[in-house]
Amino acid sequence: MSVSPARAGTLPATVASTRTRAGILKRLRAARSTMNTATLAALETRHAWFAELDAESRSWISILARGGIDGFVDWVSGEDFVPERVFDAAPRAMAGRISLQQTVDLVRTTTDVVEEQIQLLLPRADRQPLQIGIVIFSREIAFAAAAVYARAAEARGAWDSRIEATVIDAVVRDEADESVFSRASTLGWNSEAPTVVVLASAPEEPRVEDLRRAASRLGLDVLAATQGERLVCILAGAPLTDAETACALVRQLEYCFADGPVVVGPLMAGLGGAPTSAREAAYGFRAAKAWPEGPRTLLSSDLLPERALAGDGHARRALARGVFEALRSSKELLETCVGFLDAGSSTEATARAMYIHPNTVRYRLKRIQELTGYNPTDAREAYVLRLAVTLGRLQV
């Protein structure tokens, strides 16, 4: 981006005589040192933040103040002057130590002091043209400061995005080591907070900032990056108390994702568990197309049957070892579950086939739900139970 110099010669043009202009410049140059000393004194007395800075930072600020005053003198003399060069004297790191508001304070205080010193040190005839000049010049400096901080923010944002992408890539690849935690900490991430990974289709127009703002209102931190046609998000925060709560919170963020399923991985204790959540969410996201009748936002565990049929070994083991083994611990519950499913989910037909009372069937169905977490009278959950029994028997 090219930088245009500030308008030169504005002040001398207000003074008709060349000799008068030369006299003003000579007296202004003689007052520079006093102006600089008065500016530093004003910064210390008017702004508490200046006194709290380390010696090196205060030194750089004094250089900036002197550069601004010298720049004003050069500008008054009619030389081409680029306002942003005032900030070239300070290292790039200063933009991280000194906020934009503090820089505005610096410009305002320097301008006020120069105006005061003009009234104190220079003859009455010099004051009006110099007062006009300092107003115009300070405006140019203020715009230059805004441009410097805008570029610094853009560069910092681009760098943060690259770090964010590497953290998410490491989580997805299950390579989350100490270096990943370190990178995440530079983004202000709490690696110990409850964490969940969410996968969804990436919108055509990036809406990551909308996602951050919406998640922040819910008390959640977000790391997000697009990987191909999917958007991978890591959410963390105290509101994530359990899987169902996490899913409910993600439903409030649905509008930030493209159309299609939004799959929430299991809730983990911190960033160290995020790879497990990411793996489960990824399997669920790939299998979600097999259950288009399901809710748009759902847990990866809601898709265990589809994941198992798609070849996900973790899902097969969860069904065979988790659900089937729980049923297998009670022969009568396993027989009742299979008999109920074979009888078309009819309590009376199951009772007749097993020679037991219908109330006994109802009691056992309730026990099955308590034991496995799945209700045999619900069509979807009956499907999960049927597949769990099939997979479990195959592995016996």
Structural domains of the chain in order of their starting residue, each with its CATH number: 11-154 (no CATH), 196-302 (3.30.70), 313-394 (1.10.10.2840)
Q: 296 pLDDT exceeds 90?
A: yes
Residue 12 pLDDT: 47
Do 336 and 365 contact (CB within 8 A), yes or no? yes
Distance CA 141, CA 163 (A): 33
Residue 7 pLDDT: 46
Backbone φ, ψ for residue 99 (5° rounding): -75, 165
Residue 16 pLDDT: 47
Q: Which residue has the higher pLDDT, 47 or 199?
A: 199
Measured CA to CA in angstroms, residue 309 lies from 174, 297, 303 at distances of 24, 21, 10
Residue 355 pLDDT: 92
Compute, in degrees rounded to 10, the torsion defined by CA atoms 311, 316, 318, 319.
130
* For residues 256-282, average pLDDT: 92
Q: What is the pLDDT of residues 124-183, one digit of tens each?
A: 888 888 888 888 888 887 777 777 666 655 545 444 567 787 888 888 888 777 777 777
Residue 161 pLDDT: 67
Q: 198 pLDDT exceeds 70?
A: yes
Amino acid at 264: V
Structure tokens at 99: 């906020």
Q: What is the pLDDT of residues 201-250, one digit of tens each?
A: 988 776 788 888 899 899 999 888 888 888 999 999 999 999 999 999 99
Q: Which of 318, 289, 176 is nearest to 234 (CA)?
A: 176
CB-based burial, 250-283: b 16+ in 10 Å, e otherwise: beebeebbeebbbbbbbbbeebbbbbbbbbbbbb
Q: 10 pLDDT exceeds 60?
A: no
Distance CA 62, CA 68 (A): 10
User: What average pLDDT does the chain have?
Assistant: 84
Q: What is the pLDDT of residues 19-37, one digit of tens each?
A: 777 888 888 888 888 988 8
Q: What is the pLDDT of residues 69-118, one digit of tens each?
A: 888 888 777 776 677 666 665 555 555 567 777 777 888 888 888 888 88
Residue 132 pLDDT: 82
Structure tokens at 92: 């790039």
**Helix/strand/coil percent split, the chain, to 5:** 70, 10, 25
Distance CA 67, CA 94 (A): 15
Residue 218 pLDDT: 92
